[in-house]
Amino acid sequence: METFLLVLVIVEAVIIAGQTFWTVKTAMTRKKIMEKADAIVKGRLDIEDIRLNGMARGDGVVANAVNAIKTNLMTFVEATKVNVVTLADAITVLSKGAENNRTGNEQIAQGATSASMKSAEQLRLVKDNLDIIAANNAEMKEIENEMGEIRTILNSSVDNSKSGLNHLEGYERAIEAMSDDLNNINRILSKFNQDIKRIEEVGDLIIGISGRLRLLALNASVETARAGEAGKGFAVVANEVNGISIKTKEGMESINQIVKEIMQSSQQVNDSILHCEETYDQSKETFAIVNASFRSINDKSMEIQGKMNSIAGKFDMMTKYTGESKEKAEGLYNASQVISENMSEIASVSQEVAAESSTLSENTDALAGMLEGIEHLIGQFHTAIVPTKKRSNKTVKLLSVSMLDNDFWYGVRRGALYAKKELEGANAILDYIPLLPEMDSEKECSEAIERAIRENYDGVIYPGFLSGIEDVLKKAESHGLKLMTYNCDCSPKIKRVACLKPDPTEPGRILARAVERALDRKGRVALIIGNLSIGSNSERREAFLDYLRQNTRLEVISEISVGDDAESVYQKTLEFLKKEPGVDAMMITTGNPVAAAKAIEDANRAGKVKLYTFDSNEEIFRYIKKGIIGITVVQDAFGQGHDPAIWLYNHIVENTPAPKEFIPCRLSTVDKTNVENLINA
């Protein structure tokens, strides 16, 4: 019995102790929630989220609501700060525009009155020009008719020239034939003269024979006389022979005389033919000249004909354009009438608009006052480091450099631009340089720092992973420029005054705890690892793996090495998922988490594999709602762009002491429990 009572007492004591512990824990949890809520009421938004581990359901709902309110207020304030920059610039432009608009409209009113007078003068000139065009058009029609007649005459002349040329060519062929005939006659006469000479030679031979016959007859007579009576008969023969010889000689002499006369006539004919040939040769040369002249005339006539046809074509176009010009001049005349009628109306309207511009200027002043109220309102919330009230005697010049290749860096840019506006009224200049994806980041950053050295800047702010710029950083340090890193730290060889970054191990531990809860301390995990020479990638990886090794039975089955571009992340993640069906969760250390989430979706592993990542944007939130991304760690991109510039300004102006380690960047998380309650700037 005593033992039983003792057990009851012990059980009761344990229950009371448990209730007491739970009551104390609940009280402490609620106190923590109230402290966070009170900080938010006081405008302290630069606080960490309330951890929800181990809370009762009701307290967890309240804590989650407080976290969402704080995050939404932070997002709203930071978005408003960005809008303040835009609105301030717009008000400046609008104010200048209103004044310019008023002045311009007054000038327009004056100009419109003057233009109305000029328009009337223009109308008169257009009318005169229209009359000139009409007269010119009539003259061109007459010229066109005369051009037609010239073209007809020229065409006829070309035809006649061609016909004459054809006749000359026929005559040339006839002359050539006559030349051939004369040559033939000349050859015949030459042969005839040769035959006549042969007749003369025969005649001479016959005369010679006749002379010899006479001599023979004389000898016969002598011999007959000697013979006496016996030779009488031979004497008769000798007489006859002598008589024949004399007649033959006389006849042949007559023939020779006729032959000589024929030869003389033939020579005259031959001389005449030679003279005809000489005359023909001279005529042939003259004819060649005439023929060449005719051909030249024909060629020139055809050339003139071509040019006349071209002129006629151009003249036709001139006539056409003249007609179009007349139509346009008539249109211009009508338009000038309308312009003349409207210019006086424009003048009166411009005067009214000038008056309204004064009202616009008043409204712009009211808008500027409203902007001051907004700035005062957001000034009540402490979301970031604020500029010191102390002012430097000289203008502080700072250079801030950031990447600009994903949503995180656009948040950094917004923070830097708001810091730029805050410092405008503090005798300071912040020169912000974005490094676009297509740029050689280290080369562009080095050139910007070189310029800052030449122009005597006071400080340079840059992402700590740009380790390839060490030489120019050392040069800047030797010239007295203050160096500050953010996002992560670069080489320890560079002496920087401070570094603003997230806790290098906490983001990895946060994701490891989230994977542990989701898989109930057991399962298969893969890591998507970016360039390990970048500090954030190696730090996240080490913290994640250390937590898993010490606290869970989770198995890391693979580490997938990827590049810094979305395509590399997508392709390598997709390839891994196709080869490894047993993976339960994946953690990515680098940027482009949306590419990894898309690979999970395209591999049909949604609901089976969850991704644990960093950064925030609408796409990441959408994948959280789909259940593909389990949780994301948000690293206050706005603060990483804003706070380093303001801290470095304060350090330069009032010698703010440098932190021992680093300036911590605020962290928060987004998962299915709070994603619906968040707004995204």
Instruction: Give the pLDDT confidence of 330-349 residue by residue, as tens digits.
Output: 676 666 666 666 666 665 66
Predicted pLDDT at 613: 94
Segment 244-266, tens digit of pLDDT: 777 776 777 777 777 677 777 66
Across the strands, what pairs with 431?
Answer: 399
Chain CA centroid to CA 448, Å: 27
Predicted pLDDT at 623: 96
Strands 524-529, 555-561: pairing kind: parallel
pTM for the model stands at 0.53
Predicted pLDDT at 368: 56
- By residue count, the chain amounts to 681
Chain CA centroid to CA 101, Å: 36
Strands 585-588, 610-614: pairing kind: parallel
CB-based contact 481:638 (threshold 8 Å): no
Please state whether 287 falls in left (phi above 0), alpha (psi between -120 and 50) or beta: alpha
Rounded to a whole number, what is the largest CA-CA distance in the chain?
Answer: 238
Strands (E), 425-568: 428-435, 459-463, 482-486, 498-501, 524-529, 555-561
Mean pLDDT value of segment 59-81: 62
Residue 584 and residue 523: Cα distance in Å, rounded? Answer: 6
For 15, 23, 304, 461, 485, the CA distances from 26, given in Å and listed in that order, are 16, 5, 114, 44, 41
Phi, psi (rounded to 5 degrees) for 461: -120, 130
Predicted pLDDT at 187: 72
Predicted pLDDT at 475: 94
Segment 615-647, tens digit of pLDDT: 888 899 999 999 999 999 988 888 999 999 999
Token reading at 301: 């006539």
Confidence of residue 681 (pLDDT cuts 50, 70, 90): very low
Token reading at 199: 């007749």
Q: Please give the residue that has the higher pLDDT: either 439 or 114.
A: 439
Segment 574-612, tens digit of pLDDT: 999 999 988 999 999 988 899 999 999 999 999 999 999
Nearest to 145 by CA among 321, 312, 325: 312
Residue 45 and residue 643: Cα distance in Å, rounded? Answer: 14
**How would you class 611 by CB atoms within 10 Å of its CB: exposed for 0-12, middle for 13-18, buried for 19 or more?**
buried
Residue 621 and residue 633: Cα distance in Å, rounded? Answer: 12
Confidence of residue 505 (pLDDT cuts 50, 70, 90): confident
Domains, the chain: 69-383 (1.10.287.950), 503-634 (3.40.50.2300)
Residue 530 and residue 492: Cα distance in Å, rounded? Answer: 21
Neighbours of 540 (CB within 10 A): 30
- Written in H, E and C, the secondary structure of 118-181 is HHHHHHHHHHHHHHHHHHHHHHHHHHHHHHHHHHHHHHHHHHHHHHHHHHHHHHHHHHHHHHHH
Helix (H) or strand (E) holding 458, with range, is: none
